Amino acid sequence: KAMCSGKLQTALLVAGYFVYLLVGAAVFQALERTAEKQEKRAAAQMKEAFLQNFTQLTVAEMEQFMENLIEAIQNGVYPVGNESQFEESNWDFSNSFFFAGTVVSTIGYGTLHPKTAGGQLFCVFFALFGIPLNIVFLHRVGKMLSLLCKKLGKFLYEKGMRKKKIKFLTLLFFLATGILVFLCLPSVFFQITEGWSYSEGIYFAFITLSTIGFGDYVVGKQSGRKYFSYYRVLVAIWILFGLAWIALLFNL
């Protein structure tokens, strides 16, 4: 009964956690998408005006244009290419889910952030309840993984292995497996999808899972590169379970 109750609690926690992220993603998308469209429209008009009059601009007008351009880029608007690129949203569902995941995990790359008053206020409350929920989630998943460690240890003990050796081998097994699954293999995936070098993929994976999150490398942000649907959702899920693996290592 206790085991069934524990499994039910874990299932409800995991389901509730992902529902929380999905609801958060939907709200961020609803609050930010319209404002982003207006920003992109303004950036497109600014670019068009510059291309028509750039030979006649004064120094002051040129400096004003540069300031506007920098502000647009800081807000995640890149006025390059044709107008069809302006229709691609930073706040589609995949990006919004990815953002929600980086908020509750405290990574906070800084390349995507809410700009409307409603979005910023919602982000405060979303993080206020989401960060403790994330800690509970990681602790529970880490606990479930530690049960696998105990089963592995019991199996080795029954084979006649000493306890100290079992502890060392268990830690080594989960360390090596985690490095392969959460660092080495994803880096190959990022190398193919993002066009990064393998070392850049390793660097991004480590900086992300350590929750440092510099923001110098972020997935799905290169202009002119085609990404498959829900690419960033998959990366967000990789981050969450990668953090659970790190929680397991601390438990061990």
For 87-251, give the CATH class. mainly alpha
3-state helix, strand, coil in the chain (%, to 5): 75, 0, 25
The pTM for the full model equals 0.86
User: Does residue 236 register a pLDDT over 80?
Assistant: yes
* CA 142 – CA 244 distance, rounded (Å): 5
Confidence (pLDDT) at 85: 56
* CA 159 – CA 153 distance, rounded (Å): 10
Lowest mean pLDDT among 8-17, 32-41, 63-72, 78-87: 78-87
Of the candidates 149, 171, 177, 136, the residue with the CA atom closest to the CA atom of residue 12: 136
- Can you tell me the mean pLDDT for 223-238? 87
Tokens 């601390």 label which residue? Answer: 250
| 107 secondary structure, DSSP code | -
Tokens 């910023």 label which residue? Answer: 120
pLDDT tens track for 150-172: 888 888 888 888 888 888 888 88
CATH 1.10.287.70-classified regions of the chain = 87-251
pLDDT tens track for 61-119: 888 888 888 887 777 777 776 655 556 788 999 999 999 999 999 998 888 889 899 99
List CB contacts of 46: < 8 A, sequence separation 6 or more: 65, 68, 69, 72, 79
CA angle 60/223/236 to nearest 5° reads 120
Confidence (pLDDT) at 87: 63
Confidence (pLDDT) at 205: 95
Q: Sign of the CA dihedral 182, 184, 190, 193? A: negative
